Amino acid sequence: MAVVELCVKAAVGAPEILGDCPFCQRVLLTLEEKKVPYKMHLINLSDKPQWFLEVNPEGKVPLMKFDEKWIADSDVIVGIIEEKYPNPSLSPPPEVSSVGSKIFPSFVKFLKSKDPSDGSEQALLDELKALNEHLKAKGPYVAGENICAVDLSLAPKLYHLEVALGHFKGWTVPESLSYFHNYVKLLFSRESFQKTKAEKEYVIAGWEPKVNA
């Protein structure tokens, strides 16, 4: 099996350490769950190396090398990994493919919000409640017993939500959403997640400029 190469974000202020990009972690989780060997390049986004910009003029991460070709965009990358390494299958049943998809934008809006009456907190709660209801009916994972690509896309985003809202707003997901809490525990305790997550301080450092903009 050829080793795939992957460019991911390095930590803010610590270019030797894995950074906090949830889209990079999604790709790393996919490779780990499929046991695909990979070589990781940490990219300092505030000082991008020349070779990286030459193969990827837009300078975005994650970036992955397949068959001598560099591919950007985590959706595309995850699709190619699924195609090339079909076992174990992480392909979600079509009816769950958009579960939880509005949580991340709702989280970002609430995190950046300076106005408590703008409805952004309620909008996020509504999305989290919807996921909780889905998990109650179909769980423990989004598609049932087995983890799938939708879970691997959500896991890093839910980690960011927990860390950033806890730090910047002193906010936590209500205990009443017990299926959601169980789901997050399951995801965060997986070996693949422990191995690929950014340390909390780097998640906070990554959001700092956006929150204080």
Which residues are marked as active site? 21
What residue spans of the chain are helical by DSSP H? 22-33, 50-55, 74-84, 103-112, 120-138, 149-169, 178-189, 191-196, 200-211
Q: What is the DSSP string of 158-208?
A: HHHHHHHHHHHH-----TT-HHHHHHHHHHHHSHHHHHHPPPHHHHHHHHH
Spatial contact of 33 and 201, defined as CB atoms under 8 Å apart? no
Decide the pairing of beta strands 14-18 and 4-11. antiparallel
How far apart, in whole angstroms, are the C-alpha atoms of residue 173 and residue 181?
A: 8
What residues contact 98, with CB distance under 8 A and at least 6 apart?
Answer: none
